[in-house]
Structure formats: C-alpha cells, structure tokens
Amino acid sequence: MKIFPAIDIRGGNAVRLYQGDYNKEKVYSINPVDVAQKFAAKGAKNLHVVDLDGALEGELVNKDIIKKITASCGMFVEVGGGVRSLTRIGEYLSAGVGRVILGSAAAENYTLVTDAVKYFGEKVAVGVDALGGKVAVRGWQKVTDIDAFEFCKRLKEDGVRTIIYTDISRDGTLSGANLSAYEELVKLKGLNVLASGGITYMDELKKLKAMGVCGAVLGKAIYDGALDLGEVVKECEDAC
C-alpha cells in the first residue's frame, strides 16, 4: 500500500476542513511547499494535493504553489481541484505532476473522463467523493443523485485505473475510515483504490492494506499527531 500525506490548499495556505465544510477550516501552515518538504523528510514517497479554491471555483487557483511543491519535494505528486479540461491535465503533467485527479468534472462531464483516459492513460485518476452513498461535486457543496459505488464500477469499465474514494462524513473528523466501503470497492478487480477520509489509527491502515486497498490518503491524523507519518511509511508502505 502506498501512503499519501495530503496537502489541501486554500488561500495559499495548507489547511484542513471538517467534513468538507469551507466554514470549518484550520490553517496548519502558510507555506505548503515547506509542509511537502517536511513530509519528504519523514520518508514519504507520495503526496496528495488538492486545490480547494480550484475545486470550488472550477479554476486552477493555486497552480503556481502546486508547481513549486512538485518541483521541490522529490515525491510522486497527484493533484486535484479545478481540473475541468484536457488542457489543464496537460498543464499539470508538463509541470511534473505524476497523476491528475478529476473530481466534479468526472461526474458532470463524463466525456472528459473517457477522453482523458484515451490521451493520458493511467496518469489520470478520478476522485469519488461520497456523502450518504451519493457523489458530491463542486468542492463537496452539491450532492448529486449518482450512486457512488455504481459510479466507481462505471469508471473501472471505461478504463480508469485509479480512484480516490472519500467518505465526506468521515473527512477531517478523526473518527476512523469507512472500512466497509473499501471492502466493497476492492472487489472491482483491476481498479486501484485509494482510501481517504477519517483514517486515524495504525490498525485501520493495516486492515486497509490487508484487504487490498492500493493507497491511503492521510490528513488531519498526521497534522494533529494521531499518526506519525514516518512510522506509517515504515510499517505500511509498499508497491500496490
């Protein structure tokens, strides 16, 4: 399993939200590049970055900061937030990003997914953000009628190889991951599943690894000290 410490950027700062609520924000650093370098120093090989402003506005608001992170940290970086076109995917990949995540655009403009897979292959992933089993979009501000599990199945059938599945109700809460959701998702053979939202304990990470989850995105737990990133990397990191 691969470990992805997360940096969510809003207003140029590294922040965490509670259950995706933009009104419940905690700023952890005014320098996201410095945060990335500290993660690298802890032994992290992978990094998950989200442009929260971009997710809300549909633009690459914090792309300059993200490009600096990618250029300076020496990690495999996956990026999402505001990516709504093939041009934007190409822009990030040209800047050294290893994988670009489609979120709202995947649910609202599915043709973009199939086109992106055609042109960029495994360098494109889809972030499936679920609330009450339904896909949420626009920075999690709008919940659609799309069934999250069925959406993941469709993505897999149409050539997507990696999804990042986030249970919004767990995100930023330190309440534990939705393990039952991942037990179902790993049944979709050929789909690499990254778990995100609420992961708090080493025991959870070991369970996720044992069930065949490909990666784990860690946020608040490493910022608040519930998990030590260096220890997690040593205990859980290996190839998918």
Does the pLDDT of residue 171 top 90, yes or no?
Answer: no
What region, left, alpha or beta, does residue 178 occupy, with left being phi > 0 and alpha being psi -120 to 50 degrees? beta
Joined together, the tokens standing for residue 28 give 């952890």
What is the model's pLDDT at position 85?
95
**pLDDT band at 139; cut points 50, 70, 90:** low
pLDDT at 138 over 90: no
**Residue 46 pLDDT:** 98
34 belongs to the catalytic site = no
**CA 28 – CA 223 distance, rounded (Å):** 8
CA dist 79 and 46 (Å) reads 11
Task: Supply the CATH classification number for the domain 2-236.
Answer: 3.20.20.70
Report the pLDDT value the prediction gives residue 210, as an integer from 0 to 100.
Answer: 96
End-to-end CA distance of the chain: 5
Confidence check: pLDDT of 240 > 80:
no
pTM: 0.94
- What's the pLDDT tens digit per position in 55-85? 888 899 999 999 999 999 999 999 999 999 9
Catalytic residue chosen out of the listed positions 8, 51, 53, 167: 8
Residue-level length of the chain: 240
Q: Return the closest-CA partner of residue 52 out of 84, 112, 12.
A: 12
Query: 109-131: per-residue pLDDT in tens?
Result: 999 999 999 999 999 999 998 98
Whether 129 is catalytic: yes
Task: Give CA–CA dist 189/216, Å, rounded.
Answer: 18
| pLDDT level of residue 142 (50, 70, 90 thresholds) | confident
User: Cα torsion at 223, 101, 21, 134 (round to 10°)?
Assistant: -120
Task: State percent of the chain over pLDDT 90.
Answer: 79
- Residue 129 CA to residue 177 CA, distance in Å, equals 13
Marked catalytic residue, from 34, 53, 115, 129: 129
Contact call for residues 146 and 103 (beta carbons, < 8 A)? no
Report, as an integer, the average pLDDT of 150-175: 90
pLDDT at position 120 is 98
pLDDT, position 140:
65
Quote the Cα angle for 150-157-212, to 5°: 75
Q: Is a pLDDT exceeding 80 seen at residue 136?
A: yes
Mean pLDDT for the chain overall? 93
Report the distance separating Cα 164 and Cα 225, nearest Å. 23
